[in-house]
């Protein structure tokens, strides 16, 4: 019984330390400087999604990539902890009648 308890405790301790889901290609490998990373992420978002496009199609791609979508405010986020800071990758768009006619990306680092 005791070895089983140790295995359970080890699993509980290791779970938060497990590697997070890898970033999607659109967000991976950005420059280290926040301003440069923001510009690069925005360029990647604009290059990936040809406009106009159906909002449903955009959302399907973003969800597949691991973004948390909030359709009510037309944005999607991926957030990753980095020490005490939070790295946020956000895609924002303008929706007119179910069609996306403008899109952009924003990368930021939020620290206490």
Domain ranges across the chain: 22-110
Please indicate, yes or no, whether the overall pTM of this predicted structure exceeds 0.85: no
pLDDT digits (tens, 9 = 90+) for 35-77: 999 999 999 999 999 999 999 999 999 999 999 999 999 999 9
Sign of CA dihedral 54, 60, 65, 69: positive
pLDDT digits (tens, 9 = 90+) for 17-37: 446 789 999 999 999 999 999
Rg (CA), the chain: 18
State how far the Cα of 2 lies from the Cα of 62, in Å rounded to an integer. 45
Share of the chain above pLDDT 70, in %: 83
pLDDT digits (tens, 9 = 90+) for 70-90: 999 999 999 999 999 999 999
């Amino acid at each position: 019984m005791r070895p089983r308890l140790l295995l359970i405790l080890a699993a509980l301790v290791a779970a938060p330390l497990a590697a997070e889901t890898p970033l999607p290609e659109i967000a991976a490998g950005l420059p280290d400087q926040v301003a440069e990373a923001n510009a690069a992420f925005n360029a990647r978002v604009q290059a990936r999604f040809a406009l106009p496009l159906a909002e449903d199609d955009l959302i399907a791609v973003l969800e597949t990539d691991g973004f948390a979508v909030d359709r009510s405010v037309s944005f999607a986020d991926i957030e990753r902890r980095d020490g005490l800071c939070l790295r946020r990758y956000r895609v924002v768009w303008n929706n007119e009648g179910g069609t996306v006619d403008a899109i952009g990306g924003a990368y930021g680092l939020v620290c206490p």
